[in-house]
Structure 1
Amino acid sequence: MNLDFIYKNPTTIYFGRDALNNLRTELGNYGDTVMLAYGKGSIKNMGLYDQVVSILKECGKNIVELTGIMPNPTYEKVTEGAKLVRENDVDLILAVGGGSVIDCAKGISVSAYCEGDPWTKYWLQFQPVDNKIVPVASILTLAGTGSEMNGGSVITNDDMKLKMGRVFPAEMNPKFSILNPEYTFSLPTYQLVSGIFDMMSHLMESYFSGEDDVTTDYLIEGLLRSIIHSAKIAVKDPKDYEARSNLMWSSTLAMNPIMGLSKPQDWQVHMIEHQLGAYTDCAHGMGLAAVSLPYYRAIYKNGLDKFVRFATQVWGIEERDKPKEEIALAGIDALEAFVKECGIVINLKELGATEEMLPLVANSTVILGGYKKLTHEEILDILKSAYAAE
């Protein structure tokens, strides 16, 4: 572990079939007014909305609702929520939904009492949060982003065609998160598998970096193997509790900062997908999958030993005196085979992209990268490969 780090995680996790019972106790720690933030109604269809509202009323809370949070939450929605927080003196933002709802809630929390323009201050300039923040809590219904136990907030500015992520300090983590795997049972397969690749991508962004022997890499390999195993079961039987519970916890861990400790990390796949999402509004996990395969084929020689390790330790590919490049490519091929087996979309046309969009996406992508720093031209080549994928 050659890189120094500070690790802090203040989120309390309530996990399991009876996790919602803990909401009553937690609500006693906050004031009278709760903002209930959620998406476009799926929590009502599953009956969760009625349960949560009943508990809030039982605890004597005034409820302010923010509805219609979209899969790629917009800065406009953040602004709408921030206005409601100020007007109603909200004491707690309770996000009920997937990572997008929780990301939006964090964005609202830091923006409500911000002096100046929050978008510029917090998502473009990454300035420290120096204003009052409103506590956030979550009830998770979709596994994939890990937003329930981190400070991440990815927001899209439609006017600027920018999708930007900010990982705020641990003080912005949800104070508590309620995780019941049964809440994910009714998800369409499309959302299930998109979330599966999302959590894998978070792990791979950390994994494909560095040359030293880091405990974090061993943890990542174990989580990847667990996700692959449980994903195959969940795709066949969406109501297999064990598989869904494993996926939900793996997702929480995958984007917990602990999985990047003492790692330089990469995150170029996410930077490309963020801009792809800004132009297409595609499902995040699907966009990540489409970009990852050509990206890893473009950089594997620069991190050859780690890609060999990925092939052998994650996918069980035997070395048998094969050349390293052959082993590394076999690992990427195994990833592609898994993606296709799960029904994950990897063609950009199917995700709503047009040829005209590709240069715009490439030119607006933030350059990060681990083993290799790409040019905008190389990013365009990756997008073209994803556009032509079969």
Structure 2
Amino acid sequence: MLGNFSYCNPTKLYFGDDSLRFLSEELHKYGPNVVLIYGGGSIKKNGIYEEVTRILQESGKNVEEIAGVMPNSTLAKLYEGIEIARSHHADLLLAVGGGSVCDYAKAVSVSVNCEEDPWEKYYLRFEEPACETLPVGCVLTMVGTGSEMNAGAVITNQKTKQKIGHVFADERIMPKFAILNPRYTLTLPRYQMVSGIYDIFNHICEQYFSGEDDNVSDYISEGLMRAVLHASRIANRDPQDYEARSNLMWTATWALNTLVSRGKSTDWMVHMIGQSVGAYTNATHGMTLAAVSLPYYRHILPYGLQKFKRFAVNVWDVDPCGKTDEQVAEEGLNAMEVWMRELGLVMKISELGATEDMLEGIADGTIILSGGYKALEHSEIAEILKESM
């Protein structure tokens, strides 16, 4: 492994179908005022809301709610949440939902005591919080983002059509605790399930496709990717298979709690392009990633040929005998495409609502990073988007 790094992950996890019972234990560590944050109301239909509010009441908490957090959490919704948390004098933000709800809670956390505009400070200048932050706890109901064990928060500015993620360096932003009950994910529609599965897989890819040194992180990544492939095929056949869904939930957490990024550079251009697509279409995050991934990877394959060859052999079991490196690498991406279609992922951004007249704006809104095998030019992003149509 090359370079120097530090690693600290302060989030305490409770995993399993009996994990919610630990919520009361955690609540006693915080003051009386809790803001309960959730999405469109599915937790009220499946009974999770009732379970959580009962525990809050039994713990003597004074509860205010922020409901209706959308999948691509907006800046307007963030401003609303800041005011609610301030007026409630919140001691804890409790996010119950998927990654967007957890992301949103962290964005509120860093903004409540900040005198500056959070969009300008955190999402345009990418500064760290200088103010006191609020503690966040998560009860996870959908897997994919890994937001339950990282310091990332993605917000969409609908006016400027920008969807930007800030992974804070300050460990205070990471959830203090997260409750992961795989049974809470079993009621998700198949579309949301497979979208989350691809989000998990791509998080690993974003950290894998960079660097050429002999890095322990890449070996871990290969194991995680194989775990996703195995569990995803079982879950796709039987979405009620608890073991497969529990393995996906656990893999999602380790895919993006920064462990597999240690000691190496990382790419993240699929996310940059996909998030810009999402800002224009409001499409489901995992599907935007799926739609742009293969055109991007086929574009950068010549610049990272040896890693793509390794990916083919170690993840997809491609036999390299008698083949050129290019043939092996391409066979790996072809196997990946077969798997993606098997899951039923969206493979074209046009199916997500993108139109030809949006492409220039999407390209302009794509943040260009340099951690991968090639720093893209604007014209290359435009070409990848055309290939994704």
Normalising to structure 2: TM-score of the pair?
A: 0.99
Structure 1 distance, partners of 2:377, 2:328, is 27
- Equivalent position of 2:93 in the other structure: 93
Partner of 1:356, secondary structure, is helix
Structure 2 distance, partners of 1:106, 1:364, is 23
1:270-321 per-position Cα deviation (integer Å, ceiling 9, x unaligned): 1111111100011111110111100000010100000000000000000012
Q: Which amino acid aligns with 1:46?
A: N
- Equivalent position of 1:326 in the other structure: 327
Structure 1 distance, partners of 2:160, 2:115, is 21
Partner of 1:26, secondary structure, is helix
Shift, 1:123, TM fit? 1.2
- Equivalent position of 2:158 in the other structure: 158
The 5 Å alignment of 1:111-260 reads: 111-168=111-168, 169-260=170-261
Partner of 1:232, secondary structure, is helix
Matched, 1:312 2:274: no
Q: Which amino acid aligns with 2:124?
A: L
Percent identity, please: 53
- Equivalent position of 1:302 in the other structure: 303
Runs of 4+, deviation exceeding 6 Å: none
Structure 2 distance, partners of 1:212, 1:353, is 38
Structure 2 distance, partners of 1:189, 1:128, is 37
Structure 2 distance, partners of 1:73, 1:253, is 23
Shift, 1:124, TM fit? 1.0
Q: Which amino acid aligns with 2:344?
A: G
Gaps in structure 1 of 5+ consecutive residues: none
Matched, 1:3 2:20: no
- Equivalent position of 1:377 in the other structure: 379
Gaps in structure 2 of 5+ consecutive residues: none
Structure 2 distance, partners of 1:158, 1:56, is 34
Partner of 2:356, secondary structure, is coil
- Equivalent position of 1:82 in the other structure: 82
1:65-110 per-position Cα deviation (integer Å, ceiling 9, x unaligned): 0000000001111111110111110110000000000000000010
Q: Which amino acid aligns with 1:361?
A: I
- Equivalent position of 1:102 in the other structure: 102
Shift, 1:363, TM fit? 1.7
Q: Which amino acid aligns with 2:247?
A: N
Contact 2:35 2:64 in 1 (8 A): yes
Aligned residues: 387
1:190-229 per-position Cα deviation (integer Å, ceiling 9, x unaligned): 0000000101111000100001000000000000000000
Partner of 2:267, secondary structure, is coil
- Equivalent position of 1:292 in the other structure: 293
Shift, 1:122, TM fit? 1.0
- Equivalent position of 2:388 in the other structure: 386
Contact 2:34 2:90 in 1 (8 A): yes
Structure 2 distance, partners of 1:272, 1:251, is 21
- Equivalent position of 2:66 in the other structure: 66
Structure 2 distance, partners of 1:284, 1:179, is 21
Structure 1 distance, partners of 2:3, 2:337, is 32
Cα RMSD for the two superposed structures: 0.7
Structure 1 distance, partners of 2:24, 2:206, is 37
Structure 1 distance, partners of 2:102, 2:93, is 9
Instruction: Return 14-23 or 110-119, whichever deviates more.
Output: 110-119
Contact 2:142 2:185 in 1 (8 A): yes
Structure 2 distance, partners of 1:247, 1:126, is 31
1:134-157 per-position Cα deviation (integer Å, ceiling 9, x unaligned): 100000000100000000001101
Structure 2 distance, partners of 1:307, 1:96, is 38
Structure 1 distance, partners of 2:39, 2:352, is 21
Contact 2:306 2:325 in 1 (8 A): yes
Shift, 1:132, TM fit? 1.2
1:234-274 per-position Cα deviation (integer Å, ceiling 9, x unaligned): 01111111100000000000011111001111011111111
Partner of 1:374, secondary structure, is coil
